[in-house]
Amino acid sequence: MVKKIDHIGIAVRSIDEARKLYESLLGLKIAETEVVEEQKVKVAFLPIGDSEVELLESTDPEGPVAKFIAAKGEGIQHIAFRVDNIEESLAALKAAGVRLIDEKPRKGAGGAKIAFLHPKETHGTLIELCERED
């Protein structure tokens, strides 16, 4: 079902602050930034090999990323697995009894279709399924 790690979502207080590490020191480059209003988040994608780092900065103190940082501090917030057909993947997981945060895919950054599985079902890791054109 899963093809590869599409990206790793990392919650940071400030993309401008974090980019010093990721760009100047680690040598990655922000390829694009985007505000995803629905998620109250600004994202920056840094390609790394066949995958990407996704930096997540909250645009609202009540947003999910702000709540994550308040509870756990900055750090890895989710891991996104690429699938070919997200509707089929969600249907298969649901049929197997896996609890889903998103029963239907929603629009993510970069025109992707995304959906989250419930972390109680995934041994504590927030897993995002992601379908997109390469």
Out of 11, 36, 65, 80, which residue is the one contacting Zn ion (CB under 5 A)?
80
Per 3-state DSSP, the chain is made up of helix, strand and coil in percentages (nearest 5) of: 30, 40, 30
Contacts with Zn ion, 32-71, as mask; x by CB under 5 A: ----------------------x-----------------
User: CA end-to-end span of the chain, whole Å?
Assistant: 17
Distance of alpha carbon 112 from alpha carbon 17, whole angstroms: 26
88's enclosing H/E stretch is helix 86-95
Contact 114, 56 (CB under 8 A): no
By CB under 5 A, which span of 20-28, 83-91, 92-100, 122-130 interacts with Zn ion? 122-130
Considering the complex, state which of residue 54 and residue 57 has its C-beta at the smaller distance from Zn ion: 54
**Is residue 105 at the binding interface for Zn ion, with CB under 5 A as the rule?**
no
To Zn ion, the closest distance from the beta carbon of 114 in angstroms equals 6
Distance of alpha carbon 44 from alpha carbon 33, whole angstroms: 4
**Is residue 110 at the binding interface for Zn ion, with CB under 5 A as the rule?**
no
- Where do contacts with Zn ion occur on this chain (CB under 5 A)? 9, 54, 80, 128
